Every structure is written in C-alpha cells, then in structure tokens.
Structure 1
Amino acid sequence: MDLSFLGIEANPITVFTQADKATYLRNPEDIDDGIRELVDAINAIPAFFSMSACQGFLIEDERDDHCPESYVDFYVIDGQYQLAQLLLGSLASKFGASIDCKVVYEADFVITTDDEIIANGMVKLRHSIELYELPPDLMKTTYQELVEHIRKFGDAVK
C-alpha cells in the first residue's frame, strides 16, 4: 500500500519482541502487590507484557498511597493484535460496566543521554484494562473472576 499521502513510508506501529518483554519485566518488584495477580496473568500469555499498572483502590488500607485508578496496561509482541482484541473483547463482554478496555495510540520516543524525550515517528499501541470501583465484597470477587478469565484465556492460546 502506498502510504505517501499520509506523509509516511512504512507502517508506523512499533513492533515489540520477546527481548522487549524481558526488558520491561526485569524489575518485578515495581508491580504493586494488590494487582500482581492480574499483571502475572497477562504476562503469562506469551504474546503480551505489562508496561504499567497500579493497584489503586483495590486495597482499602493502601489506597492513599496509590493513584486513584486500578489498571493494567500492556503491549503486544510480534504484531499479534488480533489476540489482544479477542482478550479485550471477551473481557468487555463478560464484565460489562465493571471494567473499561481500550487501545491507546501513543507516540513512541527515544530518551537521549540528556533525559530528553524525542519522538521517533513510530506509534505504540497501549492496551488497557481499567477496573471501576465496586463495593468491597463485589470488588474482590470481580477482581478474582477477571484474573481467572485471563488465565483461562492464556491457557487456551498456548
């Protein structure tokens, strides 16, 4: 396809690899304990890796120490975007208004030695699962069902 009318010569979507997954997951202690199960379920799927997460309101006694949202964002390896669409679609179908699933197109960049960020013309597809706050008992069971759903999804695609 001739993309010249867009001002680009090739597909601008960044393609992540297994090496990228290893790099992003090298510091597991960076993951909040309250959302670790969900992050681990996503990372257990070979084509996905988490890149950002926050337990937010999941643990009442710790909520003031975290951002106000409970979410996991992840990238896809080797362009397996249909797999990510299937996961997000199945989650939105099953959990309805309890979660929000989306894909964000964000500018890719490089960080220079001066800690300056320079856009490189590429675009990263950030897939996101955000939980909405529910009454505590329902929140706990919904979270566990969400983790189990993703584990079953991972088992099915392996």
Structure 2
Amino acid sequence: MSKVQYFNYILISNFTFALIVNSIYVMVYKISNMSFQGSYGILILILIILSILEATLAGFLVAFFKDKRIGGVFIQAFILLSVSVGGAFFPVDKVGGKIIAVLSNIAPNTHIIKVFKAYMLENTMSSIFNSLMIMAIIAIVSYLISIIKVKVRWED
C-alpha cells in the first residue's frame, strides 16, 4: 500500500466518523422539532460537504504532524483561532480590524455557521451556495496540500 493510499484511507475513516457524528447531531434536533426543519436534500448536501471539510482538515493535521501530541496542540490552537475570528466570542465587524475581518472570511466555521443559518432561515440552494462552495474549496485546497506533503515528506 502506498503512503498516498494509506493517507486516503485515513481520510475516508475521518469522513465516515464526521458524517455519523454530524448526522446524529442533526437528527436529534430534527426529531425533537427544535431545528433543521427544511429540505432533506439540502440538509444531506450540507452534511456531506461539512464532513468532507472536517475530514480534510483533520487529514491536513495528520499529514503535517505525525506525533499525536503535537497535532493535538495544533488542532486546539486552530479551533480556538477559528472560533475567535469566526465571530463566536465577539462581533468581528464591530471589534476586529482588517486582519481579523480577512481571517474571518477564510475561517471554516464562519462558513459553516452561514450555511446552517441560511438553511434554517431560507431553505434554498441559492442561499447556501456561496458558503458551501467556499467550504468545498477549503477542503480541496487542504487535501491537495496534504497530498503534496505526504508524497514529499512521509517515509516509506
């Protein structure tokens, strides 16, 4: 098995886990009539893209940090930074400067929040399309960088 195949199997495992966890989260809220009452097709598409994004970001960390402890520190820092610039702790447009605003535009959680908000409020493909495409692009770029890293640096 090549190192790229091995890495892809890790991604498939991450995707499967993320899809199961995300689906359970959504179904609990949907069954209890608390949220996610829109179209099933749109919701499934969101869950698939979200799970791909999560899997590729986790794969990115695996590609760069084989040591789980170092990877754990970096993922915690990434989550904290992503949540901070994503507007979870403070309104980015009122508190942050230009740098924070730029970081907020590329933070994955910003687009995840936008997708779910648009789904719940408008329930149309056109309302979620831009954020969903940004999530897909982030996933593709993360995957491509990871594959390059795996091909160049991983030992056989």
TM (normalized to structure 2)?
0.34
Structure possessing the higher relative contact order (Cα contacts under 8 Å, 6 or more residues apart): 2
More strand by proportion, 1 or 2?
Answer: 1
Q: Which has the higher helix share?
A: 2
TM-score (norm 1): 0.34
